[in-house]
A and B are shown apart, each in its own frame.
With several copies, the nearest count.
Chain A
Amino acid sequence: MFEIIDDAIDPMRLLAAVGDPSAGASVLFLGTTRNENVGRRVVRLEYEAFAGMATKEMRKLATQARRRWPLTRVAMVHRIGVVPVGESSVGIAVSAGHRTEAFEACHWLIDRLKEIVPIWKKEHFRGGTVWIGEQQGGPPVPATRSKTRRKAVR
């Protein structure tokens, strides 16, 4: 199960997707919109994906993880569109014979997903918006100047 979806993530679907009689451990990671980021009051996050490529890249990551660890099953889902505070944007479930592999692989998968899967996050905070990952070199710009954001940030 490797999906880009536009509604709420169902943790039970992820867990069911990795259930297996040979699995002794399942680890589920949920990444959730939190109400604060580097001192900004976060109102909501908004995600955009290159969906076809994103699911392909998620499958590739799962294949790579299986080469590194003896895993039973892997499932990954990412939500796009608006994700309010307290709701999850990403869910990754990994099952394995033993727990250490499941923990390590799940942690590795979310780290790699953030580095490589073509998904972008726009943070709506109290006072403005910012595309995360592009803010190096300057602070995010208030909403009133958002049309000239790129110049101001440079």
Chain B
Amino acid sequence: MRVRLRYFASLREALGTADERAVRDGTTAGALWSTLVREHPAVARVRVRFAVDERYVDADHVLADGDELAVFPPVSGGC
């Protein structure tokens, strides 16, 4: 199945705005991110949070086909 990826802020600068990956059934958000970190070790230090379809999810959230997984570095809105 396929999952779209969205990156923001420093992750966007390192990995680009968006990506798409084929993953096995049962893959979690955290597992997919671990795979990506192995490809791009420079982002390993970033404490990330995940959102699927514009809602926060935990790292153990199981992805579904067509999901959009957004990966966030620490948010810093406000002032």
Binding site for B on A (CB under 8 A): 24-25, 31-34, 47-50, 52-54, 56, 78, 88-90, 99, 110, 113-122, 131-134, 137, 150-151, 153-154
Closest 3 CB pairs of A and B: A31-B79, A119-B77, A133-B74
B8 near A99 (CB under 8 angstroms)? no
Choice from A31, A32, A33, A134 contacting B10 with Cβ under 8 Å: A134
Given the known inter-chain contacts A53-B54, A133-B75, please indicate yes or no for A120 contacting B43, CB distance below 8 A: no
Band of interface residues on B:
20 to 34
**Distance of A35 from chain B, by nearest CB (Å):** 13
B45 interface residue, CB < 8 Å from A?
Answer: yes
Choice from A34, A113, A131 contacting B77 with Cβ under 8 Å: A113
B36 interface residue, CB < 8 Å from A?
Answer: no
A-B pair count, CB < 8 Å, reads 93
| Residues of chain B with a CB closer than 8 A to A32's CB | 79
A120 near B78 (CB under 8 angstroms)? no
Give the complex CA separation of A25 and B79 in angstroms.
Answer: 8
Given the known inter-chain contacts A48-B9, A52-B54, A134-B10, please indicate yes or no for A113 contacting B78, CB distance below 8 A: yes
A56 near B14 (CB under 8 angstroms)? no
15 A-B contact pairs sorted by A residue (CB < 8 Å) = A48-B8, A48-B9, A50-B8, A78-B77, A88-B79, A89-B77, A90-B78, A113-B78, A118-B70, A119-B78, A120-B10, A121-B76, A131-B9, A134-B9, A151-B42
| Residues of chain B with a CB closer than 8 A to A90's CB | 77-79
| Residues of chain B with a CB closer than 8 A to A117's CB | 75, 77
Given the known inter-chain contacts A50-B70, A154-B45, please indicate yes or no for A89 contacting B79, CB distance below 8 A: yes
B75 near A115 (CB under 8 angstroms)? yes
| A34: nearest chain-B partner, CB-CB | B79
| Residues of chain A with a CB closer than 8 A to B70's CB | 50, 53, 118
Give the complex CA separation of A78 and B45 in angstroms.
Answer: 28
Given the known inter-chain contacts A53-B54, A153-B45, please indicate yes or no for A120 contacting B8, CB distance below 8 A: yes
A122 near B9 (CB under 8 angstroms)? yes
Give the complex CA separation of A88 and B78 in angstroms.
Answer: 9
| Residues of chain B with a CB closer than 8 A to A78's CB | 77
**Distance of A138 from chain B, by nearest CB (Å):** 9
